[in-house]
Structure 1
Amino acid sequence: MTGAALKPRGASRTGWARAGADPVAAVRAAEALRDRGDILGAAAIMAELCRLFPHLPYGWRERAILRWRAGDGSGAAHDFARARAADPGNLLTLVQSVRQLAGAGRLDEAETCLSAFPATPDQAGRVERLDQLLAYLRQHPEAEAMRLAMAVRSSPRHLDTASVEARIGAALAGRQPFSLIRLGDGEGAWISDPDEEGGRFRSLYRRNRKRILRTWFGTDALIDRRDFLDLRERFLATIPAASVVGVTYPERIRHEYGIASPDGVPSCTNVLRHVAPLLHRGDTSFCTHDIHLDLHLSGALQRLTTAGHPIGLISCHPALAAALMRRPGIRVAAALLVPEEKRFAAIIGATGMPGAHYPDAFGRVTTRLRNRDWTGVLWLVAAGYLGKLYCHEIAARGGVAVDIGSIADAWSGKATRPGLADLARYRLDGGDQPGPAKP
């Protein structure tokens, strides 16, 4: 049945008029409004769609998603139930329903909903992963993840932005080695062990690894490659060896569990599970995973880079080193290029780098870093998962390495993350300029 055949009479409300009284166009119009932040406008269209076409599933589903994002769990559950009743076999509705119920802590209902999935071979993998997500939520509930996140935040070893700046400055002044690395959901996917608990979460973990490999390298061909798997042990060794480790914070945990994210929940939680023992041994300090943004916005990166120390740079931006050198007080001693994360290739543009980041560029960069002493050099590293290994190599040779991540993209005028949408805040010469942090 076409959208034109479904046009009702007398649909003249303002929000509905924008959609042309076509239910398919209505959903698209509502999604566009939602993406622009006009939640009320989107909700008005969906309410009218549900009133005029109660037998269609997608109006109820899209309204449920709006309610879910607004924190109206009971309203979202009601609308998802209406969507399932309208079309019991709709896969998108079933997936969203399972996640909404799970995010609301209604795991028994989520499992009942999951049982309604078509018992077909092409859906077996999806069902298995959702089943493992629900099992993970039972095994590691939000309360546990929040407890771990709060333990990090309340630890005497947790540093605020000023303290991180002071630690970096002290390492440079004292010509001491230093490494700051950040562990996000990508790193969490590789901290997660598919063989843990007898492989209970194997399918879920492997899917998350494949997803992040495609983000990093444009392919998941490395998923079972022995040399790349062996690299994981070297990556894990960088964590207790680091001076400061940025990890997931309570607000992020609340968000990931609230949407029952199949990648965010296990990846972020497993980062916290992995680092928790370090709170009571060794001398590693901690900070928020978003410390790179805070260091820029506070003016700390500008103060550190213009303090007279030679700068090293690892990034995918060919012009960034020259842009840094045009800034007064900055001297770039070394600049190493790596290929861009393939998910953002269209945003970043051509880098001119041949080959893949792993193993091609990784081997070249590692060899270069191992060939000299880096004492007194401040390295800004923007190289994803492999960047943690670069930070480790730099610190092992006396240097100071800071994982700046997507700040390098922002400095280059590339908004690769939602948080960088307002690029004016992240100009290379941006950030507040308060006085230097006190040691």
Structure 2
Amino acid sequence: MALGVNIWSPPTAEAAHDYYQFSVENPVEKILDLYASEENGGVLNSDNKAKEITGRIVEAIQNRASFSMIRMGDGEGNCLFDFDQYPTLKSYILDRISYMHFGEGSIVPAHDEEFLRMMIQAIDSSDVIGVPERDAVAKGFKTVDDDLDVRAVVGNRTAALKVAARVGLQTTASAWTNRQLLPHYEEILTGRDAVGVISSHPKLGDLMKKRFGIGKVVEHLIPRQAVFLKTSDRKDSGHFPDVFRDIVDSISPTPGMPYLVSGGLLAKHYCHVIKSRGGVAIDAGSVPEIWLNIPNRGLSQDFLDRWKLV
């Protein structure tokens, strides 16, 4: 058996050795005990809290208050990986997540401290944090070595570890909260004077404006994540740092203005900036693709047909 041999771009022998050492130091019991259950008082809860979160978002909008809902999944966990005693594992996962997001493997490793800082800042300033679901984390410990996606499982475990270490008054929920909110976006968005959108889809703003009766949609367009492009089209997207800096400079919400943010790793910092400037940030992830009926992320056509807006 070879670690990750059935997965795209498996780790080197050195990175695999680091992974096994990381797993010894962070065994299944340690990670799963971070989650609240009848057996322990863990600080994480990855349940579906969509209805509660909807109420808090709507309240913030109505009160013209600031708010941020972010999601810390495997990719964000990769950026939070600051265990420098495992250098080859760190290099491996940062290179992979960088290529997946930006089409170039060197971007995140070259700016690893900045990405780490942005993730921590987003956690600390958030009101709701989506975390990897407990069952998904447990599954990663049961997967046979040949089929193990080392980048993803290390990311999930690290996300759980780092959020648990920093969570205070924030509500924790599922990392899939963005999709669990699909029945509730109408309540959140309908009739709003202005809504902001950060996404890679130029047709999204008009669609939302018509569907939800929004007065004005303020759009910030970003490059699409490389992982959703054909392999031949994957190259440095320019999202970071150039487009990223421009987007940050352009974010200017009115008090309590809702923003849907679909920006991958950088969505976390965008959400932080939106809240710091008085807006209501929602880390929407794949929701724009769902609304636009764009197949990806393993979603079935039945699921897309249920929630698409086109």
CA shift, 1:336, in A, is: 0.6
Which segment drifts farther, 133-142 or 325-334?
325-334
Amino acid at match of 2:63: G
Deviations 1:25-50, CA, capped at 9 Å, x for gaps: xxxxxxxxxxxxxxxxxxxxxxxxxx
**Residue 249 of structure 2: aligned partner:** 367
Query: Are 2:16 and 1:130 aligned?
Result: yes
Larger-gyration structure (1/2) = 1
Task: Tell me the secondary structure at the aligned position of residue 263 of structure 1.
Answer: helix
Task: Say yes or no: does 1:428 pair with 2:309.
Answer: yes
- Shift of the alpha carbon at 1:217? 0.6
Q: Residue type of the partner of 2:131?
A: V
Secondary structure (helix, strand or coil) at the match of 1:428 reads: coil
Aligned to 1:340: 224
Task: Report how far residue 332 of structure 1 moved.
Answer: 3.2
The answer to whether 1:403 aligns with 2:283 is yes
Distance 1:216 1:98, change over 3 A: closer
Instruction: Kindly indicate whether the alpha-carbon contact (under 8 Å) linking 2:48 and 2:177 is maintained by their aligned counterparts in 1.
Output: no
Q: 1:268 to 1:408 in 2, by over 3 A?
A: same
**Cα distance in structure 1, aligned partners of 2:157 and 2:257:** 34
The correspondence for 2:59, drawn from 167, 170, 173, is 170
Structure 1: segments with no counterpart, 5+ residues: 1-92, 100-122, 430-439
TM value normalised by structure 1? 0.62
Higher mean C-alpha deviation, range 285-294 or range 408-417: 408-417
Shift, 1:328, TM fit: 4.5
Give the structure with the higher percent helix: 1
**Where does residue 204 of structure 1 map in the other structure?**
89
Cα distance in 2 for partners of 1:333, 1:96 equals 44
Q: Distance in 2 between matches of 1:426 and 1:211?
A: 31
Cross-structure match for 2:156? 268
Shift of 1:208: 0.8
Q: Does 1:356 align with 2:242?
A: no
- Give CA-to-partner distance per residue, 1:202-233, whole Å, 9 cap, x none: 2112111111101101111214425x632431
Per the TM alignment, residue 173 of structure 1 is displaced from its structure 2 partner at its CA by 0.9
Aligned to 2:124: 240
**Structure-2 change in CA distance of 1:361 and 1:336 (3 Å):** same
Distance (whole Å) between structure 1 residues aligned to residue 17 and residue 136 of structure 2: 23
Letter in 2 for 1:277: A
Within the alignment, does 1:180 sit opposite 2:62 as a pair?
no
CA deviations on 1:396-428 (whole Å, 9 max, x unpaired) are 111101000011111122122013553212312
How far is the alpha carbon of 1:360 from its aligned partner? 1.8
Deviation string 1:129-156 (CA, Å, 9 cap, x unpaired) is 222222122111112111113324559x
1:330 matched residue in structure 2 = 214
Aligned equivalents of 1:204 and 1:402: distance in 2? 31
**CA shift at 1:305, angstroms?**
1.0
Paired residues of 1:410 and 1:426 also in contact (CA < 8 A):
yes
* Distance across 1 between alignment mates of 2:123 and 2:100: 22
Once the two structures are superposed, the pairs formed by residues 15-30 of structure 1 within 5 Å of their partners are: none
User: 1:26-425 to 2 correspondence within 5 Å?
Assistant: 93-95=1-3, 126-150=12-36, 151-153=42-44, 160-195=49-84, 199=85, 201-226=86-111, 229-259=113-143, 260-279=148-167, 281=168, 283-296=169-182, 299-346=183-230, 356-369=238-251, 372-421=252-301, 422-425=303-306
- 1:292-327 C-alpha deviation (Å, 9 max, x unpaired): 11000xx11121111434211000001111111221
CA spacing shift, 1:130–1:267, aligned 2, 3 Å: same
5+ unaligned residues in a row in structure 2: which ranges? 37-41
Percentage of matched positions with identical amino acids: 25
1:325-363 C-alpha deviation (Å, 9 max, x unpaired): 22142233311100000110249x99xxx9611112101
Which residue does the alignment assign to 1:42?
none
Alignment-mate amino acid for residue 290 of structure 1 = W
Structure 2 CA distance, aligned partners of 1:334 and 1:378?
A: 10
Q: 1:355 to 1:271 in 2, by over 3 A?
A: closer
Which whole-Å CA distance do the structure 1 matches of 2:255 and 2:116 have between them? Answer: 27
Contact 1:324 1:332 in 2 (8 A): no
One-letter identity of the residue aligned with 1:338: I
SS in 2 for 1:311: strand
Structure number with the bigger relative contact order (C-alpha 8 A, sep ≥ 6) is: 2
Matched AA of 1:166:
G
Whether the 8 Å CA contact 2:94–2:109 is kept in 1: the answer is no
One-letter amino acid of the counterpart of residue 244, structure 2: F
TM-score, normalising length from structure 2? 0.87
Distance in 2, matches of 1:97 and 1:232, equals 29
Contact 2:68–2:128 (CA<8 Å) still a contact in 1? yes
Contact 1:309 1:376 survives alignment (8 Å)? no
User: 1:98: Cα distance to partner?
Assistant: 11
Tell me the alpha carbon deviations over residues 259-280 of structure 1, each in whole angstroms, 9 at most, x when there is no partner: 244123321111111111344x
Task: Supply the AA of the counterpart residue of 2:52.
Answer: S
